[in-house]
Structure 1
Amino acid sequence: MSTHSNISPFAFHKIRDYVYRTAGIIIGADKTAMVTGRLWRRLELLGHKDYETYFAYVSSPAGAQERSTMLDLLTTNETYFFREPAHFNFLRDEIIPQQGYNKMRVWCAAASTGEEPHSIAMVLADTLGKCDWDILATDISGKVLEHARTGVYRAERINHIPTDYLKNYCRRGIGEYEGMLAVVPSLRSRITFEQHNLLHPRETNEQFDVIFLRNVLIYFDSETKQKVIEHMLQSLRPGGWLILGHCESLQGLNVDIKAVSPSIYRKPAAAVPVFKRVAS
C-alpha cells in the first residue's frame, strides 16, 4: 500500500480547482481515491512527501511538464472500439446517405487513445471507399494522442469491432507485437490527431459535417457545457450533426440545434435567400 493514499482537503481542493480552471472538468468531492490512485506514483517518482509539496511543485515554473502529466492522468477516460454502436449505425445508415456520398469532414472532439476516431474511419472507409473524407481527432491530453497516432492496440480491445471491419482494416501483430492489433496505414492516414482544449474555440474557420462529442459533457457544469457547445456549433456546418454520449443531452442549454433522437442533434440548415423580381 502506498504511503501516498491520503490527501489533505487543502491539496485535494487545489488539484480539483486546477483541473476545472484548465480543462473545465469537475472532479467530484467523492473522488479522492481516484485522484490519489492516479497520482501517488508521481509523488514517489519525484520524491514529494505529500500532495501539498507536489502541487506546489506543479504550480511552479519548473513544474510545467508535470502540470501536463497531472492533467493527462486526471482527464484520461476509458474508451473502446465501437462504443455505443447505435451512433455508428446512424452515421452509416442516415448521415452518409443524406450527405449524398460527397466529401465528408468529421471531428472526433474527445479522441482519447484513438479507438473512437478509428471506429469512425472504418465506417467511412466501408461506406465511402476512397471518396474524399477525413477526420480530425482531438484531445486535451498529448499523451493519449501519442498512443492514438500509432494505431496499435492490445488484441483484447478488438471485441466490439465487426468481423468484416476487423478483416479489412486491422492486422494482427507478430513477433514482438504478438497479442497486438494495428489499424492499417491507409485508414490512419485519413486521421489528423491534434491537441485541443474544448474550453477554447478552434482557431481555424474549418467546418465539419459531423462532430462526435461523446461522454465528455458529463464532466462539465452547465456554464462550461454552454461554452463548449457554442464552440462546437461554430465549427459545425449548417445542416451538420452533433453526436453526444447516450447518457448526455443539451437540456437546459441555450443553443440553436434540434434533437433528431436521444443524443443526436442537427444544426438548422442555412436559410436560402429569396430574390424577388423587380418590375422594370
Structure 2
Amino acid sequence: MVELSNRPLDANDEEMRLFQQLFKQHIGMHLPQSKKALLCSRLSKRLSELGLPSFRAYYEVIAAPNQAEERQRAIDLITTNETYFFREPRHFDFLRKQVLAHAPQNETLRIWSAASSTGEEAYSIAMLLDAERHDAPWEICASDISQRVLRFARRGVYPMARGEHIPPEYLKRYCLRGNGNYAGQFMVEQRLRERVQFSQMNLTALPKQFAKFDVIFLRNVIIYFDMPTKTQVVQSVTQHLKPGGWLLVGHSESLHGMALPLQMHAPSIYRKPP
C-alpha cells in the first residue's frame, strides 16, 4: 500500500475553481487556471501533513469560518514572495535625488512599503533614509498579507547572497556578518530594524484609520489581481497618499485605464497633485 504522504496529489478543475474563488474572496488574488501546478506543488505537503485525501477536503477545511489560522497558512503557502535588496534601482535613485533632496528637514517623512514580502524593500528604504536624512525624522511602515514573510522580515537575517545588490558602503554600515550558527548569513543592524514597523495588512481591505504617506511603494503586487481588483486596490492605497506624494509601482506594471487622482511623472512613478 502506498502511504498518503508519498502519493502525488493533484487538483481537478472543479477543485481549482474553489481555490480560485477562495483566494479572490479573501485576498483579492487572481489565480489563473495556468497556475494549477503551482497550487498543487505549494499545498500538497500540507494536505499530507493533515492526512487529507484531496484538495476538496482541504478546501472544506480552510473555507470554514472557524479556520482562519489554517486559511492564513494556505495564503502564506500560495503567495509568491520574490524580492531582493534595492530591486529596481532607478526607484531608489529617484527617491534620493527627487524626493529626499527636496523633503523638509524639520518634518517627518513617512514611507509605506505596501507589499514588503520578506523585508528587503523596507530595509533598503531604511538604509537610504538613514544615510541621506541624517538627523531628520522619518518613519517606515511595511505591510504584507503573509504572516510567514513578516516573521522572516522582522528577524532581518538573510543569506549572504541576498546582499549582492546592497551598495558596499551600506553593507558595511548597516549589516552584520553572521558567525557560528549564522555563518553564511548577515543581519540588518538592530537600530535600523527597530525603525521599520511591520504589520499584516490586506490591500483589498485596508483599515479606515491609517496614516498618510509621502511615498508609497506598491511594487510587483497588482500583477496578481484582475483589473477590477487592481483598480480597487490602487484607489484605496492612494487615499493614504498625501497631496504631492509619490506612488511607485513595479516596472512591469501599469495604471493605464484606471480613474485615479494621479499624474504620471515617469513610467512606474506617479504623483498625487499638491
Class of the TM-score when normalised by the shorter of the 2 chains? over 0.9
SS in 1 for 2:41: helix
1:236 aligns with 2:221: no
Question: Paired residue for 1:130?
Answer: 135
Question: Paired residue for 1:112?
Answer: 117
SS in 2 for 1:242: strand
Q: Percent identity?
A: 43
Give the CA RMSD over aligned residues: 1.4
Bigger Rg, structure 1 or 2: 1
Task: State the shift of 1:58 in Å.
Answer: 1.6
Decide which of 190, 194, 198 is 1:193's aligned counterpart.
198
Question: Paired residue for 1:55?
Answer: 59
Decide which of 223, 239, 252 is 1:247's aligned counterpart.
252
What whole-Å deviation, never above 9, does each CA across 1:71-127 have from its counterpart, x for those lacking one?
111123211111111101110111111223442100000011101100110111110
Give the Cα separation in 2 of the matches to 1:39 and 1:268. Answer: 44
Which residue identity does 1:23 align to in structure 2?
I
What whole-Å deviation, never above 9, does each CA across 1:115-155 have from its counterpart, x for those lacking one?
11001101111101232001000001111101101111111
Question: Paired residue for 1:155?
Answer: 160
Give the Cα separation in 1 of the matches to 2:6 and 2:92. Answer: 42
TM-score, normalising length: structure 2: 0.95
1:93 aligns with 2:121: no
Question: Paired residue for 2:75?
Answer: 71
1:3 aligns with 2:7: yes
Task: State the shift of 1:2 in Å.
Answer: 5.1
Gaps of 5+ in 2: none
Distance 1:156 1:241, change over 3 A: same
Q: How many residues align?
A: 269
SS in 1 for 2:239: helix
Give the Cα separation in 1 of the matches to 2:6 and 2:261. Answer: 50
Distance 1:201 1:80, change over 3 A: same
Decide which of 259, 262, 271 is 1:266's aligned counterpart.
271
Question: Paired residue for 1:272?
Answer: none
TM-score, normalising length: structure 1: 0.93
Gaps of 5+ in 1: 270-280
Which residue identity does 2:86 align to in structure 1?
F
Task: State the shift of 1:61 in Å.
Answer: 4.6
